Amino acid sequence: MSNWRPKRFWTAASVVADAGGFAVHLDGRPVKTPAKQPLLLPTHALATLVAAEWDAQSGLVNPETMPITRMANSAIDKVVPQYHEVATLLTAYGETDHLCYRATHPPALAAQQALAWDPLLEWAAEALQAPLKATAGIAPIAQDPAVLARLHDQVLALGNFKLAAFHDLVSISGSLVLAFAVGQGRLTAEEGWHLSRLDESWQIALWGEDEDAAAAAALKREAFHLAARFFALCA
């Protein structure tokens, strides 16, 4: 029964303004989340994409082809009940932000990291009021608790839907700074992705690319772009 999937039973999906948000209706019936909560989207643009995913279904409904719907469901069913816990979990990335830990060798890689990542740390210090310290090596470095508190406040202010997308931006990149930079338009999603993969790109240039690793990276890149798109459509 765990593999059971419903068949398409509707003729058309539509977007309906409802309760301060936008619902998706299937032949007049509102869509609900897996936890049976009303699927209310914050913007018409986001609801339109969800409706398009439902309209694209043929025969059996395949959730794997409905990434926007799945992220919206997560925002309602998973983020809402544990909002503060999720925000705290993501803020913790600021303590070990990927951009703050640099290579000790080779010197050329360390120089490339500094060239690519230092401007983002400078941006975070100004735009986010969060001057994070960088170090060489993997030994933990303590960040200022006041800085982490300011980052936590900004994560808390995102709202349910943006936080769901922000979760993926942070967890995939390993960087709170990169996630904020993409979310606030300082970087495009593709720029953020490439900057998060600086070390891997260096290794690929040196040793070549493994087929399995490349396939896994492609899936992560797709998820990163999806999260960035979802985040932008929440505004």
| Local confidence pLDDT in tens for the 235 residues of the chain | 345 467 888 989 999 999 889 999 999 999 999 999 999 999 999 999 999 999 999 888 898 999 999 999 999 999 999 999 999 999 999 999 999 999 998 999 999 999 999 999 999 999 999 999 999 988 999 999 999 999 999 999 999 999 999 999 999 999 999 999 999 999 999 999 999 999 999 999 888 888 899 999 999 999 999 999 999 999 8
Question: Whole-model pTM above 0.85?
Answer: yes
d(C-alpha 67, C-alpha 78), whole Å:
15
Q: What is the pLDDT of residue 9?
A: 86
- Its CATH architecture, for the domain 82-233, is Orthogonal Bundle (1.10)
148 token code pair: 């982490």
Q: Determine the pLDDT at residue 56.
A: 93
1-65 CATH choice from 3.30.2180.10, 3.40.50.1480, 3.30.565.10, 1.25.40.10: 3.30.2180.10
Backbone angles phi, psi at 13, to 5 degrees: -100, 145
The residues, any chain, with a CB within 8 Å of residue 130's CB and separated by 6 or more, are 94, 124, 147, 150, 151, 177
Distance CA(55)–CA(8), nearest Å, equals 9
Q: Three-state SS for 6? A: coil
Output the pLDDT for position 2. Answer: 44
| CATH 1.10.3580.10 location in the chain | 82-233
Q: Where are the beta strands (DSSP E) in the chain?
A: 13-18, 21-26, 29-30, 40-41, 101-102, 135-136
User: Which pLDDT value is given to residue 20?
Assistant: 83
Q: What pLDDT, on the 0 to 100 scale, is given for residue 53?
A: 96
147 forms beta bridges with: none
